[in-house]
Structure 1
Amino acid sequence: MPINNVEIKHLQVFVAVAETQNFSHAAQACGLSQSTVSLIIQRLEADLGVRLIDRTTRKVSLSRLGEEFLPGAQRIIADFTRQISDMRAWQEIERGQVNIACVPSVAIRLIPKTIYAFRAKHPKISIKIFEEPRGRCMDLARKGEVDLAIANEPPDLSDLDAIPLLTDRFALVLRRDHRFAEKETVSWAEARDAGLVMMAAKTGIRLELEHGLPAGILQNKVSYEAVNPSTLLSMVREGIGLAPLPSLAWPDPSDPILTFRPLRNPVVTRELHLAWRKDSSPTPAVEAFKTQLEKEASDYVIT
């Protein structure tokens, strides 16, 4: 049966006739003339190859096939109406979802701060955070499994668009009762002999340190390792050691137990990038979150 010419408006007219059982009332409901409604029903029946409406001079009623066809037509119209409403809502950022992959240190301070500000403007948008190593973050963005990825400068940005997000400086996290708390800054030479707990080998933070420090400066000087900055902070809190971490992972200045001191000789920094799949078309929700994230990053001050 040739159904290529069936349009949603044809179904809408059919449903209106079925529900009102009156061509005149259906025409008013659809904003059409009665003759146009009659013509649309005739064309729909011709396209489907069946009679849907039984007509007499006194009565309009559904045929047996028309009764079977009605629930499906109503369902199609309801689904279509809901999809149109959803698309308009997305455009107006009334709803939506943003998926973000980031290295763990970014999830400690920057992401929560961004979400807090974003939620006040767009409370109906849901956000999912995936904490991953830097290479995995970019792979997820490259495959389109997340909308945005945040990581320290990756070796491969192929198939991605990326912008610098912020520069992060390393400092030594320590207890407030440690002797280094009396100093304004701590040298790497001093830190390495005081017992270090560090990010594990091949993590993004560790790779940045190995790139920024003289070769061998930390050799045989690391007591314990972890893959998450939060674990290192817990270790420092228990007095196990001192942790060199980038500023996004530093404890809050109001923390009663932990503090930090900038590391020098040399000063080590890392560059964080925001990336997304090249040639993708971000939803309005993603664009809005990206804008908020860039604002929070630009306002971020290393204390």
Structure 2
Amino acid sequence: MDITLRQIRALLAIVQSRSFTKAASVLHLSQPALTVQIRNLEAALGVKLLDRSNRAVEITRVGMELLPVLQRTLGDLDAALVDIREIGAGRRGTVRIAALPSFAASLLPQVILTCRRDNPALAFLVRDAIASHVVAMVRSEEVDLGLTGGSVADAELDVLHQTTDHLCMIYPDGHPIGRKRRIGVEDLIELPLILTNPGTSLRDVIDAALLGIGHTATIACEVTYMMSAVAMVRAGLGVTVLPRSAREVHVERGLRSKAIDDPAFVRQIALVRKKGRTLPPASVTFLDACIAAMQTMER
């Protein structure tokens, strides 16, 4: 016969009150039902736990030895149930997300701060990576959510939200390009460009836009990180093209940014998950906050 939580709670209530009548009242049981609980517990353990007389109820010597174990077991389980309820409500757990570096450094910190303000016990695992790696991590379930760039046509992924990220040119203060009222794709043809590596969602947009008018980029330097591209611009090696969402667009002194007025210089952004997989409640909490932040960015 198995031991149940009700049986343990029944024993502890009787020991505390030293009365079947009082314990039955606390547990909202009839006295016969409470008696059955204790008999079943004693049968499961194979020992007598209580000595009952007309005047009082006393715990036996063996029962006294078992009492700390039962109290600790019940306490640990109660604590575990609290944790489980917190996890189920999305107030505890680990959010695992992969994101493009531009969004990992701009959008995500504020979203995480918002989530942690309401749910301090949430933990976060953020993997910043290029678009193809973001998709791969979601597909392999290394992360639960991915914030990726470019068109997502993957049968294994669900797109939860889509938006766009406009691109802009970053150039030194005083550069001739800054005197133009409008910057179009044709203005990039002869400029020395500092671009992120081929295969990144940002580079794909730039290469496709130039190819659309029959040209390829004049590469001054290729880099992995946007911050490196900005440093190259600051050194006078050329100009770069970054997404408007990139934190680097806003923090550098001596540099200017201007939107590229061409519909080809728009990067598609998608929030994705693995198709057919249920998100943990913590990730659902984060998802709602992330979509709200993306919608604010759109406005």
TM-score, normalisation: structure 2: 0.84
Distance 1:160 1:50, change over 3 A: farther
Structure 1 residue 34 and structure 2 residue 21: aligned? no
Equivalent residue in structure 1 for 2:86, among 46, 67, 89: 89
Secondary structure of 1:208 counterpart: helix
Matched AA of 1:206: R
Structure 1 letter corresponding to 2:216: L
1:213 to 2:249 alignment: no
Instruction: Give the structure 1 partner of residue 287 of structure 2.
Output: 290
Which of these residues, 90, 100, 104, is aligned with residue 101 of structure 2? 104
| Aligned-residue RMSD, C-alpha | 3.0
TM superposition shift of 1:176:
2.1
Instruction: Give the aligned partner of residue 191 of structure 2.
Output: 194
Residue aligning to 2:167: 170
Indicate which of 144, 149, 168 corresponds to 1:147. 144
Contact 1:105 1:249 in 2 (8 A): yes
Greater shift in the superposed pair: 51-60 or 81-90: 51-60
How far has the Cα of 1:122 moved from its partner?
Answer: 4.2
Contact 2:170 2:249 in 1 (8 A): no
Does structure 1 conserve the Cα–Cα contact (< 8 Å) formed by 2:249 and 2:257? no
Please state how far the C-alpha of 1:241 moved relative to its aligned partner.
Answer: 2.5
Structure 1 residues 247, 160: CA separation in 2 closer, same or farther (over 3 Å shift)? Answer: same
Distance in 2 (CA, whole Å) between partners of 1:238 and 1:291 is 41
Q: How many residues align?
A: 298
Match of 2:221 in 1: 224
Unaligned residue ranges in structure 1 (runs of 5+):
none
- Equivalent position of 1:23 in the other structure: 20
Within the candidate set 47, 63, 75, 2:72 is matched to 75
- Structure 2 residue identity aligned to 1:218: T
Q: Which runs of 5+ in 2 are unaligned?
A: none
- Report the more deviating stretch, 207-216 or 222-231: 207-216
Aligned-partner residue type, residue 41 of structure 1: I
Do the aligned partners of 1:134 and 1:154 also contact (CA within 8 Å) in 2? no
Aligned identity (percent) is 25
Q: Which residue of 1 aligns with 2:242?
A: 245
Q: CA deviation at 1:294?
A: 1.7
- Name the CA distance, whole Å, in 1 between partners of 2:44 and 2:52: 18
Instruction: Quote the Cα distance in structure 2 between the aligned partners of 1:89 and 1:200.
Output: 43
Which moves more between the two structures, 79-88 or 42-51? Answer: 79-88
Deviates more, 1:158-167 or 1:188-197: 188-197
1:234 aligns with 2:231: yes
Alpha-carbon offset, residue 269 of structure 1: 1.9
Q: Are residue 181 (structure 1) and residue 184 (structure 2) matched?
A: no
Which range is displaced more, 47-56 or 190-199?
A: 47-56
What TM-score do you get using the length of structure 1 for normalisation? 0.83
Matched, 1:257 2:254: yes
Deviation larger for 143-152 or 203-212? 203-212
Deviation at 1:73, TM superposition (A): 2.1
Aligned to 1:272: 269
Report which stretch shifted further, 271-280 or 188-197: 188-197
Aligned to 2:108, the other structure's residue is in SS state: helix
